[in-house]
Amino acid sequence: MRTFEYKSRVYFSDTDAGGIAYHARYLDWAEHGRTEMLRAIYPGKTQMQLASEEHILMVVRSISIEYKAPAFLEDEITVLTDMEEVQHFSFTMRQRIMRSETLLSELKVRIAVIDSVTKRPKKIPEDILKAFEA
């Protein structure tokens, strides 16, 4: 499986008074990277369409993050997302937030797939599994 790249920039609103990115912004950047990866591997279906038409929600079940180096105002960052493991009702992604060759943070995110109506676990449909494997 290929690594998906999402690029962004550190804006003033992402930083504290010293121009250092606030720790919670890394979670936002990672979320943007996961969302854009899902759009790329499963084109034509937004998360809203999956929820309303197929009753599929993808929710964070667990997340761990390790901060390695700070991001600063105006930095261009890249979020690298890899699918690590796919199970019947969940999948795990590894994400790295980089500034050029410098690792800023590393995340491991487990996503549960649930039914948007019942809010109970739902088996990942075959077409989505195939998109993950492509």
Residues belonging to the active site: 16
Distance CA 121, CA 98 (A): 33
Under 8 Å between Cβ of 90 and 108: no
Under 8 Å between Cβ of 101 and 122: no
Under 8 Å between Cβ of 68 and 20: no
> Which helix (H) or strand (E) is 49 found in, with range?
helix 47-53
